[in-house]
């Protein structure tokens, strides 16, 4: 045999696997160091569930300039870019339709914050609204057991793809194709509902599918509302401090869209996330100048000072106190 022995056919595959494993382990270390994986159970879930299995390809760029990066690209430089992207702490566009984003893989650090804020306990039944790639369902399945996890999405292509990704890890939570705004009554009651798409309102159907004391964590405006369900007719809670941007919910409650930033406001507010959050939350109830005066007068409040009440009579957002002077109807 010559001086340079030929590598076995398995060698390139082993090298690729090692690179993926190394990148995966590095991301778990980074999330832990950032303080978003404080719970050992969730740290173990992120360590056990590799993101690359759920993102075999993703898109970069905008408009007509989208580029598809995938893990089986014959060009090693493109494969390296794919792997770096998968294990970067960033959301990834995974499905486009007519140039519009319809599904994505959420930012891992945000998902870690959301999962820890969901405050699950062993034996909890969890419904995820917005299946996406199946990555979050996999994390939930590792933490709670697949038999306690239901995930629903409107798009059959998305749910079929998620099932395939989950099966690669031997996971089979209940994956349902349907309108998430209507919940999943056949699998109710739930102890937790986790939503991974932006809402204009909280669908009332969810409350009726929850046990008393259940927790709903959902993107609303540009924040995350954490609601405690009292019964089928009432839920209330506050926003977390963190920002959150997701693909909008499609289905029964998807007719409303958030307003853009109006013209004529001071320049420094155009990029101010906290003011944008309040402006969207009070849209239809306050004129932009009224919102600006209130925001300044109240010391430029952050998201965590706002809350939402859902009842049979309607839905309201509020500042500091649901019985206080600053209460606005949602969705007007």
Summary count for the chain: helices (H), strands (E)? 10, 14
Residue 69 pairs with which residues in a beta bridge? 58
Greatest extent of the chain over all pairs of C-alpha atoms, in Å? 86
Q: Which residues contact 269 (CB under 8 A, 6 or more apart)?
A: 261, 275, 276, 292
Q: Which residues contact 49 (CB under 8 A, 6 or more apart)?
A: 135, 138, 139, 142, 169
Let me know if 186 is a catalytic residue: no
For residue 259, give the 3-state DSSP assignment: coil
**CB distance 317 to 278 below 8 Å:** no
CA 23 to CA 19: how far, in whole Å? 6
- Reading the block at residue 286, the tokens are 């306050």
- The active-site residue out of 103, 105, 141, 221 is 103
CA 194 to CA 217: how far, in whole Å? 5
Catalytic residue ranges? 103
């Amino acid at each position: 045999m010559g001086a340079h022995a030929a590598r076995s056919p398995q060698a390139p595959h082993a090298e690729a696997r090692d690179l993926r494993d190394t990148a995966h382990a590095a991301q778990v270390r980074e999330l832990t160091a950032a303080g978003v994986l404080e719970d050992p159970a969730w740290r173990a879930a992120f360590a056990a569930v590799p993101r690359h299995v759920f993102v075999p390809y993703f898109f970069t760029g905008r408009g007509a300039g989208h580029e598809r990066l995938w893990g089986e690209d014959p060009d090693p430089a493109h494969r390296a870019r794919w792997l770096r992207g998968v294990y970067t702490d960033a959301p990834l566009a995974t499905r486009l339709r007519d140039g519009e984003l319809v599904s994505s893989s959420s930012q891992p650090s945000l998902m870690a914050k959301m999962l820890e804020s969901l405050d699950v306990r062993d034996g909890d039944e969890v419904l995820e609204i917005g299946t996406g790639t199946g990555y979050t369902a996999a994390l939930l399945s590792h933490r709670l057991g697949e038999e306690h996890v239901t995930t629903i999405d409107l798009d059959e292509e998305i749910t079929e793809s998620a099932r395939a990704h989950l099966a690669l890890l031997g996971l089979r939570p209940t994956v349902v194709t349907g309108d998430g705004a209507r919940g999943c009554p056949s699998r109710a009651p739930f102890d937790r509902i986790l939503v991974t798409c932006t809402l204009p309102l909280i669908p009332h159907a969810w409350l009726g599918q929850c046990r008393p004391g259940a927790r709903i964590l959902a993107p609303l405006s540009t924040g995350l509302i954490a609601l405690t369900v009292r019964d089928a007719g009432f839920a209330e809670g506050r926003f977390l401090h963190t920002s959150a941007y997701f693909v909008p919910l499609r289905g029964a409650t998807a007719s409303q869209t958030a307003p853009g930033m109006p013209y004529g406001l001071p320049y420094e507010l155009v990029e101010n996330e906290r003011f944008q959050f309040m402006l969207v939350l009070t849209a239809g109830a306050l004129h932009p100048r009224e919102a600006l005066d209130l925001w300044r007068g109240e010391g430029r409040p952050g998201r965590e000072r706002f809350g939402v009440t859902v009842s049979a009579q309607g839905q309201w957002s509020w500042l500091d106190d649901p019985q206080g002077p600053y209460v606005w109807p949602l969705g007007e």
